[in-house]
């Protein structure tokens, strides 16, 4: 006979069938997600070697001989990080241009491209012209993005491992926001979104971020020394004031909140306090997001020089501009930036 305690439990469960069914489904889905998640992203060795370039690729065909990145020992300057948090493994022209322009900029810092969609343990990259082109640069390393390893040892580990996190409406951009502040805190160096074109040596900018517009900072460019207190405060704010249901709350708004507290400011302005600088818009956001169409308008060489006189990099606002046709070749501002700062990518664009 069934023990009385089990009999009572059975009657209780039968009287709450819908609720019990929901709980069982929830537990099963959560368990399956965690197992799948850990199976995909756990890296038993902890470190993954950079991808190599297959022998049959002719770099001379892709990269002009005038390339100003000399062969030799690895650069001693800090890393420049690019991150792709989606499963995308077919880089766009702009993605390629962003990485190429960073790789060409003296003194040739090591450029690390982290992509979530790359399979671990694979010794070769997917067959795509952008990977072939970028692998020709000796200071570019293209690696899988191991999110579990990246967030380990930080306040964001528990945030990331919550099973239902990926159901949030802005999960991918929030995940990108998380990656950049953790990269800056753990390793230091420079972080750039993949819609930047680099014009000058960014190594001259340390412990800095840019003003996007009126009273707003943007994290599309970050430059910090490792273990900096400002980045530590950003990680704390990320989890303590978390809201993944509001666009920008974990990105520009987070950086703005933390900087205002850091400097005891009510409104954002170009300033430096306690070793952290908020750069004027012309430094890395010379084209305001509201005026993104200017990128597709023709400008003279003189106008271009004047526009970019105090600019280190140009943010292209790809979320707004990606669907706009760009004539190649042309005198459009964006076309001239491609031609001057990522000529190998530009040559591929003309060929296509």
Print pLDDT tens along the chain (352 aa): 445 654 554 565 456 655 545 555 554 545 444 433 333 233 333 333 333 333 344 675 556 544 444 444 444 457 999 999 999 999 999 999 999 999 999 877 899 999 999 977 666 889 999 999 999 999 999 999 999 999 999 999 999 999 888 899 999 999 999 999 999 999 999 999 999 999 999 988 999 999 998 899 999 999 999 999 999 999 999 999 999 999 999 999 999 999 999 999 999 999 999 999 999 999 999 999 999 999 999 999 899 999 899 999 999 999 999 999 999 999 999 999 999 999 999 999 999 9
Domain-embedded: residue 164: yes
- The tally of domains found in the chain comes to 1
Domain-embedded: residue 253: yes
Alpha carbon distance 299, 335 (integer Å)? 10
Tokens of 232: 């530590």
Residues 6+ apart with CB under 8 A from 25: none
- At residue 164, the pLDDT reads 85
Q: What is the CATH number of the domain that holds 279?
A: 3.90.550.20
The domain in which residue 98 lies consists of 59-67+75-283
- At residue 33, the pLDDT reads 42
Domain-embedded: residue 236: yes
Alpha carbon distance 221, 84 (integer Å)? 15
Class of residue 352 by CB neighbours under 10 A (exposed 0-12, middle 13-18, buried 19+): exposed
The total of other beta-carbon atoms located within 10 Å of residue 115's CB is 24
Domain-embedded: residue 172: yes
Domain-embedded: residue 95: yes
Alpha carbon distance 279, 302 (integer Å)? 24
Domain-embedded: residue 115: yes
Domain-embedded: residue 216: yes
- Report the alpha-carbon angle 204-207-211, nearest 5: 90
- At residue 52, the pLDDT reads 38
Domain-embedded: residue 42: no
Q: What is the pTM of this model?
A: 0.81
- At residue 212, the pLDDT reads 94
Contact yes or no for 266/260 (Cβ under 8 A): yes
The total of other beta-carbon atoms located within 10 Å of residue 60's CB is 10
């Amino acid at each position: 006979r069934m023990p009385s305690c089990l009999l009572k439990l059975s009657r209780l469960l039968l009287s709450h069938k819908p609720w019990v069914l929901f709980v069982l489904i929830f537990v099963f889905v959560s368990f399956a997600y965690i197992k799948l998640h850990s199976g995909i992203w756990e890296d038993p060795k902890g470190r993954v070697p950079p991808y190599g370039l297959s022998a049959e690729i002719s770099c001379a065909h892709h990269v002009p001989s005038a390339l100003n990145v000399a062969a030799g020992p690895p650069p001693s300057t800090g890393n420049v990080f690019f991150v792709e948090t989606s499963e995308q493994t077919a880089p766009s022209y702009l993605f390629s241009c962003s990485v190429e322009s960073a790789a060409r900029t003296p003194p040739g810092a090591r450029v690390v491209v982290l992509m979530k969609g790359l399979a671990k343990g694979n010794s070769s990259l997917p067959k795509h012209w952008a990977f072939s082109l970028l692998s020709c640069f000796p200071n570019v390393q293209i690696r899988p993005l191991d999110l579990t390893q990246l967030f380990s040892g930080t306040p964001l580990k528990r945030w990331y491992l919550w099973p239902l996190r990926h159901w949030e409406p802005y999960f991918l951009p929030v995940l990108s926001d998380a990656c950049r502040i953790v990269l800056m805190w753990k390793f230091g160096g420079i972080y750039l979104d993949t819609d930047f074109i680099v014009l000058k040596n960014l190594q001259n900018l340390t412990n800095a971020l840019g003003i996007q517009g009126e009273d707003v900072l943007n994290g599309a460019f970050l430059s910090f020394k490792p273990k900096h207190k400002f980045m530590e405060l950003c990680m704390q704010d990320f989890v303590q004031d978390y809201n993944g249901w509001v666009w920008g709350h974990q990105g520009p708004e987070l950086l703005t909140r933390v900087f205002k507290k850091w400097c005891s400011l009510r409104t954002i302005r170009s300033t430096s306090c306690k070793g952290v600088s908020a750069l004027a818009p012309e430094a890395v956001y010379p084209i305001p997001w509201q005026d993104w169409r200017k990128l597709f308008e023709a400008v003279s060489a003189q106008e271009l020089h004047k526009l970019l006189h105090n600019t280190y990099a140009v943010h292209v606002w790809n979320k707004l501009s990606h669907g706009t046709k760009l004539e190649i070749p042309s005198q459009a501002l964006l076309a001239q930036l491609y031609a001057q700062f990522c000529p190998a990518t530009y040559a591929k664009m003309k060929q296509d």
